[in-house]
Structure 1
Amino acid sequence: MNYFSDTYFPLLEKFTHNGIFQNIKQVWDPLKNLNKIIAKILAEDATGNPIESVSGLTIDRSSSVKGIIVKGWIKLETSIISHDLKIKIDSGTTLEPTAIIKGPSVIGKNNDIRQGSYIRGNVIVGNNCVIGHCTEIKNALLMNYVEAGHFNYIGDSILGSYVNMGAGSRLANVQFRGLQEKMNDTINDIEISIENKLIATGLSKLGSVIGDNVEIGCNAVLSPGTLIGKDNWIYPNCTVSKGFHPPGHFISPSEHKLKSRPK
């Protein structure tokens, strides 16, 4: 895990599920098997009261939903779990009305899941995170103290600890498709250039990997296949191209070039 820790996640050891990053080759590899990873987490830690024991939740087990809709203001005093929905939410987490959570999803302690948020499944959230109004998350892993408070999209992405997403910032996960792809209803796999070498990701959908302590300004858009090292600042209204952006820089919206970050 040394390369991943040094480049992206120096706080990885504080993330409850840090074993996800053992024995992988590329930093995005966990996204390929999040459903299996979540199943393993639920099998190893099945503690918690039944979701049915909490008032203020509407539970929908239909095949098209398999999730919960929050109807009231809820502060969880204990963890809750549903094995058939494949959802676990830990104690201290606050759920606000109209939030939707679909399984499989594992949500840690002391999170704020706010009004109008949509967790679409295959999602792991660490501790002390904010999933805010009109924020949508699918097939993604968020570590600790992530703030996605207002109108954010997080698809097929990994976010380290203390990442802040400004209002309206989005992590795009599908690249432009040619006519043949559209006619055949296919999506070509994303390739990423790292140190002048083109790497096949094996993923047709890949958003971003965001290192610890990254600031993303309001209305910034990160292109599919964007890798952001730790301690970067991305200015508001910036479009960030895919590829690897090393740690400790800031990206300016006027020039779209990396510059040394002031110390």
Structure 2
Amino acid sequence: MTGTLGKLGIALLAAIAAAAPVRAAERVTLSNGFYQICAHHDTIEGQVRLYASADSSSYIDVPPTDIVSIETIPDPPPTRIDTPPSAAIASTPSRLTPRLSPDDLHEMLSTAGQAHHLDVDLLASVVKAESGGNPRAKSRAGAKGLMQLMDGTASDLGVHDIYQPEDNVRGGSAYLDALLTRYHDNLSLALAAYNAGPAAVDKYHGIPPYRETRLYVARVIHEFNRRVKARQHPAALASRNSPGH
């Protein structure tokens, strides 16, 4: 891995304002043609920080030059939006679920991350949201394994045994890498496409208006932020305690 966050960078610690009810939100139009919905924004050290919710636990730092406009929009009225068929909810673990230790999972995620220049904590956050670390998880929609791959997607990625942890993680990591490339390293859009499908992201030219997808993106990136901060804390503490400080 190169740098703290690999190919993603600090600017991709993004989320959408879907997890917390707010009276209004802000639509931030970006120079790449996409937009980001946030709860509020602020300027921090020359960067525009877009907050996902009032508690400021998830955010994205964006260069001012990447922003075309910011406008306040009313919170939409509650509506029932059916979860898209591609959305996955992990099933109850099977009695035949093979034991997979945290060290084993971390090792295979590290290997996959190095192969695709993805941060291991990002992959771990996706696995947690998708399957809870259960290699035998299966969703109502038919997504399977640690990274909840559909059979067609797994076949396209060359995954031979969808329930084999290494094979599943290899395929899921390759798919996420491809989505990040497709959406120019916009993590929010890549995660939304992973959950709801690229067609839905392209149709709405941004995060689809599916409650499940919005919560999924916010949940993954909140966990990613938490893991990165936990990883950085010991290094910062060691630096302060080193001779000369």
Q: TM-score range by the shorter chain?
A: under 0.3
Higher helix share: 2
Higher RCO structure (Cα 8 Å, ≥6 apart): 2
TM-score (norm 1): 0.23
Task: Please report the TM-score for the alignment, with normalisation by the length of structure 2.
Answer: 0.24
